[in-house]
Amino acid sequence: MQVPTMAELAAKGENPDILFWVGCSGSFDQRAQKITRAFAAILNKTGIKYAILGKEECCTGDPVRRAGNEFMFQMMAYQNIQTLNNYQVKKIVTACPHCFNIFRNEYPVLGGNYEVVHHTVFLQQLIDEGRVKLKNGGSFKGKRITYHDSCYLGRANSIYAAPRKVLEALDAELVEMKRCRTKGLCCGAGGAQMFKEEEKGTTRVNFERSDEAIATGSEIIASACPFCNTMLTDGVKHAEKEDTVQVLDIAEMIAANLDN
């Protein structure tokens, strides 16, 4: 894929309209890389001028701050802010709610002030503006889909409508879980739990959440976060339903249904 970097554009004296912040999962996790490719394919198709930082991108520091290492977080944040400000970045779009939340709500205190947009909101805008056109009768038409609210997108930033509007554009049947929107249940990865063993209990959080999603009778569990995607995929495997239930990011679903 031809994905420009900020350094390449700066060398030509150009500035992109948006910086696509890929994030650690989107860069290194094999499953999440598919989400990154899907979103980049959509950006390429629409002709939006964008760039990534590439090797200059570092972790936002979200996991270490959640785990309690404030000193490490501030070191990482200041390094990122310096890089972003050097490139005079104004607008950041990211497919990771963790990156989105920390850029939007926690970086400004340290001098990192940017317009930050989650990829589901950005996709909704592109569909509304007619810049993303979808196939009539695409591969998701009439399929039962349930959407899992990411904690950092939903409860932390009150973004509930945009992901659902994007899914509705696919002409699918959207079925809600009992615990959704403001009462949504965590996938089990937040608060740096993704990187540690769980405490003892009666069941894993991701198993419980995946069982709720499967109980809706949906063929597809739609997510908008790479962490949620991993946890729900594990939950579907644990329930031995991987033959009948798919876990997909919203960007992957849109990319698969772009009208040529």
Q: Buried b / exposed e across 6-44, counting CB within 10 Å, b at 16+? A: beebeeeeeebebbbbbbbbbeebeebebbbbbbbbbbe
**φ, ψ of residue 105 in degrees (nearest 5):** -110, -20
Mapped onto helix, strand or coil, the DSSP state of residue 257 is coil
pLDDT exceeds 80 at position 247: yes
Predicted confidence at residue 248, as pLDDT, reads 96
The domain spans of the chain are 6-124, 133-255
Please state, for a pLDDT cut of 70, what percent of the chain lies above it: 99
The number of residues in the chain equals: 260
- The residue-averaged pLDDT of 159-176 equals 93
Predicted confidence at residue 218, as pLDDT, reads 94
Mapped onto helix, strand or coil, the DSSP state of residue 246 is strand
Which strands make up the sheet holding 173-174, listed edge to edge? 173-174, 144-147, 220-223, 246-249
CB 248 within 8 A of CB 120: no
Predicted confidence at residue 135, as pLDDT, reads 84
Same fold, 6-124 and 133-255: yes
- CATH code: domain 133-255 is 3.40.50
Helical packing angle, 30-46 and 226-238, nearest 10°: 130
Distance (Å, rounded) from C-alpha 79 to C-alpha 57?
A: 10
Considering only the top CATH level, what class is 6-124? alpha beta
Place of tokens 């740096």: 192
pTM given for the model: 0.93
pLDDT exceeds 90 at position 192: no
Residue 192: exposed, middle, or buried by beta-carbon count in 10 A (0-12, 13-18, 19+)? middle
- The residue-averaged pLDDT of 5-18 equals 95
Tell me, rounded to whole angstroms, the distance of Cα 243 from its chain centroid.
Answer: 24
pLDDT exceeds 90 at position 116: yes
Residue 15 half-sphere exposure toward CB, CA atoms < 13 A: 10
